[in-house]
């Protein structure tokens, strides 16, 4: 059986990933590591685990990981993942990197947004951006998969059919996104303090979030040309989920019917995108604890706008669920393995 | 001392209004009515009230109200307020109507959006739209004040300086708004059920909310011309507050500096609008339990967009606080009376 | 493969049960019914379900259910379950009733607390109270299993070892319980309104909750004698989970060590009770979305009190998870089947 | 006009106090200090304050404070307040200390629970414990007022009439308390992290909280003898409020009627205790943002127990509101001044 390691297993994405891999029918979770000297007991991190589990969280040791794994999931913070990913990639493992380190093709853009030079530039072109709905074919043979960010997943899936079918203007797009607090990870800071978040709502990094170049690259790939958009993320007083409300201008003459058909064509066969009927819209509730992206559209022939609502669970389709979906594609497993009941 | 009546005092806006008027230094709250046959004890509605208060909630009786009041605040649902407002207006009272019934000038538009014919069309032109930052002069002598809606207050205050100074394109404006649950009033429905709202977030009435014509009318008045915008309201899992994120395209050649100057010029002298410094943005927390509208701007000369964030307490600046501000203007009291500590 | 039906599948417990049975390795979920004339689509109730599922929610029809099932789970409200349970029991099915209808042995007590005469008194003595930690042996051969209430599960598991080993006084026990809102089901009432629950906390049915006789019966069975206790349930502004804080007086001479040993002896071999180390206490977080009951003890030789904290997920160990645990015991499956990853 | 200083004005209690004193009709808030080198702008801490306010937050300077104040409110953490309180007390000011430093009479007990020797033992006997319902007479002439803790206020007010009238057994009392997160102040720690508190509930410092000796001293003073109780505080996922559920055994022969009469006699004339009718119980909602303590009783002649529910706003009656109540008593102002609308 294929063996999987998770590096950085104590964060939210590592924990979600471990939960999925433990119930996955085709792989074995064989190794969980932490950068802490004395990693906590696994049952503290994953209370769902039964008393019988014997798997232990270990301090990271590259040789041990290599010995125990065929696939290495990297749940380290960006800038800390690149060397580790490169190491296991060169050691012949399949590497699925949940950090941002291999998502951008241009090392200069990386440095500009992440304030850190990229130490493994030579691998940027090797990495495949792991959004199955965009790159399923390339993922099938990729050994270095850059798992997409949470905001980008929700934004790109909301716009892909519109841009690839040339249905909207590529200027003036608005992506208004709203995320639960788990998107910020387990860092204990003033902005994740209960007294700050509870009963509150606010924007942050207004039109300046580091996920913008990642969104831009994917949108421009779909549009085969320049795309100009605004992006404002907001912090919701909930634990998990992202809902993006996206506004665009229809190209002249584009009808509502064409828009709905484009989404149906793009997503009808997708196992993890659910396209809503006319008049229905997604909510966080419907996608929490699932790997689905729910998409709903408001478009009328009487005006020039199209509005797309797109919802995901930021820890699943926006991180660990999508990572497993990528693994399933890469390994030839049914794409839903481990991800549906 | 001027005497005030509140009709429909058991809803959220009636209660907030009563709390303000009870501590207002220049008026006396003399009459509180309910449409219920046996109105509850006032202390159940306003636990802040000391044990000594003797004011009682009464079943509505027009003659009693007329006897006891110079100013009549109407906190009835839309379609139910129009006749009552007309009655007291004709009886010579100053009427401040918190419903939507006199906000639109066009009875046809009213009927289209509120699904109810307007029974007092002749008064629509008499009514003054009570947004002090737009209509302070007219409010000074108005006897029928249509107190603005909560979404409109936040949206209009975010756009006024841009439109009146001709700094943005009037097409393709996006108003993305997010409201706490108290905006829906005290109705107990599937959409205000704890199990539905808690840990959830979703849009509703996508580009189809009845506040759209009200927003449009005010924006077009400011712009002296047609304005085209999209509006999507969302439901936040919090009790009170509205935050709107507004996106527009700058007119060619408009500089960041001009935008900031326009807001400073418009709001520097306003007692209840606080314009944030460059790089600072509002949050619900800062405006909850206050009559302030906080406004922050993101605009760079390097791109064509301007983004405005605007936050209010929907029950205060979005309803009862603004109603008292209107009364203060109408009666010649200091505008902050009863509204600041 | 054994086939399972769920009657009343649209409530919280029905939905949780369906989710477990869909992933259960040894049974097939073959039938889901509702009392509604037009049951909603299953995907609306269980968004976790993949797009491929073909199972449909049907309007209840006894013959259909009988044809399609070996085991019938009843998720109907109390007083409505008794006839249905009796019907399928007599038809030779294994019936697991999640309502309160067969939990009490005494029809008079039932009538007193549920304000409804018991129509199937003759079956009360046939029914086995399905708390595995108390009645595992009887459950193995029971065809009518009365699945315990949520408060009783948490209260009884906190007290069982103390009473059965005669370590505490049987008078003056205090059970202070706190439940998430899902305990009230999906009823949309004033007490489950977001505006009432959010940022609030209060007691209800103070020392008068209908779960009291159920708790009493189990405690007295364990103690082989009368037990006297107070019980106050409170409503927490969270979706799921119950935490009970239980206070009792140690019998003279009882040492801390004996108390800890009694819990270890009682629960060391239990698959779904986790007994905490000295100084550690349970939280809702640790048991949410699991079938575990976590129990922690505060006891010192320097004073006469013992304090037990006991936490469960009210929808799992307090309802649907326990129902599946009972099925597993009854059918000879591993007790954890479907309940752990 | 009497001038007031607040030391430590950036914490929750300092902010609440400033808000009250700013609207208080008989005193002037003249000085606000912080231990920070560059105190933030007041409007960041108190957004309710209008744009016109000129008061500024200053770095603490004892001479400045002395010059500007007749009354000094100390909102410093315990162990840091004692020297400052002593200084201003000796300088002839009226000192109201919101910390725990002068609440206990016995320096040894202080050291045991606060892990810090008391540096001003000689003043412990000078200090008056500022619970008006217990010590109003002494407060009238006190120059060093130890303002009670939040849990003690709620617990003591729930038990005072029962103990002073000798209606309950003094052993085996249970005080089960539940507090909002603001009780922990503005410290940003793992236990005040949104991801930890939200949708969670748990006990902490089980029967080991530093407020226990304070509760004990007041209860024993009321009972004129030893009192033995258990105390378990829990953390609620709400911002403010404490609800305590208190369980005691009635003395033999005590009737329900006597219990209700004792509470009516004790609290009928109290401006800030509201005693509920039989069958009604308090909720956090009713006391939030007020200085009231609401008390409800469950007692039946058919059993031996009495259950008291007591709710306060931890930042008002549990801290800053009570401090102002004490000031009002000390200065001869109407007791409600600044505390009711």
CATH number at residue C142: 3.40.50.720
Condensed to tens digits (0 to 9), the pLDDT of residues D254-268 reads 999 999 999 999 999
In the prediction, which pLDDT does A189 show? 87
- Among the partner-chain residues D172, D196, D203, the one whose CB lies closest to the CB of C172 is D172
CA A295/CA A304 separation, integer angstroms: 20
- The answer to whether residue C339 sits within a structural domain is no
In Å, what is the CA distance from C10 to each residue of A48, B57, C148, C320, D160? 25, 41, 20, 13, 49
DSSP C60: -
In the prediction, which pLDDT does A51 show? 65
CB C180 within 8 A of CB C236: yes
ipTM of this model?
Answer: 0.96
Do B161 and B267 reside in the same domain of the chain?
Answer: yes
- Supply the residues of D annotated as catalytic: 150
In the prediction, which pLDDT does A120 show? 96
Q: How confident is the model at residue D341 (pLDDT cuts 50, 70, 90)?
A: low
The pLDDT of residue A190 is above 90: no
Do D175 and D290 reside in the same domain of the chain?
Answer: yes
The pLDDT of residue B67 is above 70: yes
- Chain B residue with minimum CA distance to C12: B195
Mark yes or no for CB contact D290/B19 under 8 Å. Answer: no
**Contacting residues for C180 by C-beta, under 8 A, at least 6 apart:** C236, C238, C239, C240, C241, C242, C284, C314
- The answer to whether residue B268 sits within a structural domain is yes
In the prediction, which pLDDT does C190 show? 86
Do C125 and C259 reside in the same domain of the chain?
Answer: no
Interface test with B, best of C10, C193, C194 (most B CBs within 10 A): C194
User: Which pTM does this prediction carry?
Assistant: 0.96
Q: How far is B183 from chain C (nearest CA, A)?
A: 11
For D275, list phi and psi in degrees, rounded to 5.
-95, 125
In the prediction, which pLDDT does C114 show? 96
- Among the partner-chain residues C193, C199, C238, the one whose CB lies closest to the CB of B193 is C193
CB D73 within 8 A of CB D93: no
Mark yes or no for CB contact A188/D186 under 8 Å. Answer: no
CA A31/CA A65 separation, integer angstroms: 7
CB B160 within 8 A of CB B134: yes
Which residues of chain D approach chain C closer than 8 Å at the C-beta?
172, 174, 176, 178, 196, 199-204, 206-207, 228, 230, 232, 234, 236-239, 241, 243, 245, 247, 249, 281-285, 288, 298, 300, 303-305, 307, 309, 311
In the prediction, which pLDDT does B187 show? 85
Structure tokens at B167: 């700094």
Query: Kind and range of the H or E element at B85?
Result: helix B82-90
Range of the domain at D61: 2-147+319-331
Do A207 and A124 reside in the same domain of the chain?
Answer: no
Q: How far is A211 from chain B (nearest CA, A)?
A: 18
Mark yes or no for CB contact D288/C199 under 8 Å. Answer: yes
- The answer to whether residue A336 sits within a structural domain is no
In the prediction, which pLDDT does C52 show? 58
Mark yes or no for CB contact C201/D174 under 8 Å. Answer: no
CB C193 within 8 A of CB B192: yes
The pLDDT of residue D53 is above 80: no
CA A93/CA A69 separation, integer angstroms: 8
Condensed to tens digits (0 to 9), the pLDDT of residues A197-228 reads 999 999 999 999 999 999 999 999 999 999 99
- The answer to whether residue D240 sits within a structural domain is yes
Residue A195: give its domain's CATH number: 3.30.360.10
Spell out which residues of chain B touch residue D182, defining contact as CB-CB under 8 Å: none
Do A138 and A189 reside in the same domain of the chain?
Answer: no
**Strand order through the sheet with D57-59:** D57-59, D27-34, D2-7, D71-74, D94-97, D144-146, D128-129
The pLDDT of residue A53 is above 80: no
D neighbours by CB contacts (3+ pairs under 8 Å): A, B, C
Condensed to tens digits (0 to 9), the pLDDT of residues D250-306 reads 999 999 999 999 999 999 999 999 999 999 999 999 999 999 999 999 999 999 999
The pLDDT of residue D235 is above 80: yes
Which residues of chain A approach chain C closer than 8 Å at the C-beta?
19, 22-23, 47-52, 199, 271, 274, 285-287, 289-290, 292, 336, 340-341
CA A124/CA A214 separation, integer angstroms: 13
State the average pLDDT over residues D75-89. Answer: 96
Mean pLDDT score of chain A, rounded to an integer? 95
Q: Tokens 């108005």 correspond to what residue?
A: B142
- The answer to whether residue D339 sits within a structural domain is no
Do D196 and D77 reside in the same domain of the chain?
Answer: no
CA C193/CA C202 separation, integer angstroms: 14
Do C40 and C23 reside in the same domain of the chain?
Answer: yes
Do C182 and C299 reside in the same domain of the chain?
Answer: yes
In the prediction, which pLDDT does D51 show? 64
Condensed to tens digits (0 to 9), the pLDDT of residues B38-57 reads 888 888 888 777 665 688 99
Cβ-based burial of A68 (10 A; exposed 0-12, middle 13-18, buried ≥19): middle
- The answer to whether residue C277 sits within a structural domain is yes
- The answer to whether residue C47 sits within a structural domain is yes
Spell out which residues of chain B touch residue D22, defining contact as CB-CB under 8 Å: 341
Do D125 and D212 reside in the same domain of the chain?
Answer: no
pLDDT along chain C (341 residues), means of 10: 95 94 94 91 79 83 97 96 97 98 97 96 97 98 98 98 98 98 89 94 96 98 97 98 98 97 97 95 95 97 96 98 98 94 60
Do A308 and A265 reside in the same domain of the chain?
Answer: yes
State the average pLDDT over residues A186-193. Answer: 88
Instruction: Using the Cα atoms of residue A278, residue A281, residue A286 and residue A292 in order, give the sign of their dihedral.
Output: positive
**How many Cα neighbours within 13 Å face the side chain of B168?**
34
Q: Whose CA is closest to B179, among C290, A178, C159, C111?
A: A178
In the prediction, which pLDDT does A48 show? 75
Spell out which residues of chain A touch residue B212, defining contact as CB-CB under 8 Å: none
In the prediction, which pLDDT does A181 show? 96
Q: How far is A87 from chain B (nearest CA, A)?
A: 40
Output b/e per residue, D242-252; b: 16+ Cβ within 10 A: bbbbbbbbbbe
A47 or B300, greater pLDDT: B300
Mark yes or no for CB contact B50/D199 under 8 Å. Answer: no
Do A275 and A248 reside in the same domain of the chain?
Answer: yes
Mark yes or no for CB contact C48/A274 under 8 Å. Answer: no
- Among the partner-chain residues A201, A230, A284, the one whose CB lies closest to the CB of B305 is A230
Spell out which residues of chain D touch residue B285, defining contact as CB-CB under 8 Å: 47
Mark yes or no for CB contact B341/D49 under 8 Å. Answer: yes
Do A191 and A233 reside in the same domain of the chain?
Answer: yes
- Among the partner-chain residues B200, B236, B245, the one whose CB lies closest to the CB of A176 is B245
State the average pLDDT over residues B129-143. Answer: 98
Spell out which residues of chain A touch residue D186, defining contact as CB-CB under 8 Å: 193, 195
- Count how many domains chain B has: 2
CA B39/CA D185 separation, integer angstroms: 39
Q: Whose CA is closest to B314, among B204, B212, B248, B238?
A: B238
The pLDDT of residue D50 is above 80: no
Spell out which residues of chain B touch residue A241, defining contact as CB-CB under 8 Å: 201
CB A45 within 8 A of CB A9: yes
- The answer to whether residue D340 sits within a structural domain is no
């Amino acid at each position: 059986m294929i063996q999987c390691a998770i590096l950085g297993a104590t964060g939210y994405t590592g924990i979600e990933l471990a939960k999925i891999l433990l119930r996955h029918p085709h792989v074995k979770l064989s190794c969980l590591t932490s950068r802490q000297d004395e990693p906590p007991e696994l049952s503290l991190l994953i209370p769902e685990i039964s008393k019988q589990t014997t798997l232990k969280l270990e301090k990271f040791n590259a040789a041990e990981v290599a010995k125990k794994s065929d696939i290495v999931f990297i749940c380290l913070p960006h800038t800390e993942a690149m060397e580790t990913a490169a190491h296991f990639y060169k050691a012949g493992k399949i590497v699925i990197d949940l950090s941002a380190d291999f998502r951008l093709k241009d090392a200069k853009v990386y440095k500009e947004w992440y304030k850190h030079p990229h130490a493994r530039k030579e691998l940027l072109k090797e990495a495949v951006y792991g959004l199955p709905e965009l790159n399923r074919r390339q993922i099938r043979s990729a050994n270095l998969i850059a798992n997409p960010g949470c905001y980008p997943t929700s934004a790109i899936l909301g716009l892909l059919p519109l841009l690839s079918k040339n249905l909207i203007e590529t200027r003036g797009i608005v992506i208004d996104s709203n995320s639960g607090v788990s998107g910020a990870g387990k860092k204990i800071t003033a902005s994740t303090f209960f007294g700050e978040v509870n009963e509150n709502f606010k924007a942050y990094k207004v039109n300046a979030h580091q996920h913008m170049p990642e969104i831009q690259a994917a949108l421009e790939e779909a549009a085969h040309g320049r795309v100009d958009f605004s992006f404002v993320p907001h912090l919701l007083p909930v634990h998990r989920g992202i809902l993006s409300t996206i506004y665009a201008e229809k190209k002249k003459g584009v009808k509502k019917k064409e828009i709905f058909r484009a989404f149906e064509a793009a997503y009808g066969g997708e196992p993890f995108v659910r396209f809503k009927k006319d008049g229905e819209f997604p909510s966080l509730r419907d996608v929490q604890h699932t790997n689905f992206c729910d998409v709903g559209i408001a478009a009328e022939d009487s005006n020039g706008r199209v509005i797309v609502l797109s919802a995901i669970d930021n820890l699943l389709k926006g991180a660990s669920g999508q990572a497993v979906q990528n693994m399933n594609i890469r390994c030839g497993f049914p794409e839903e393995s481990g991800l549906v009941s």
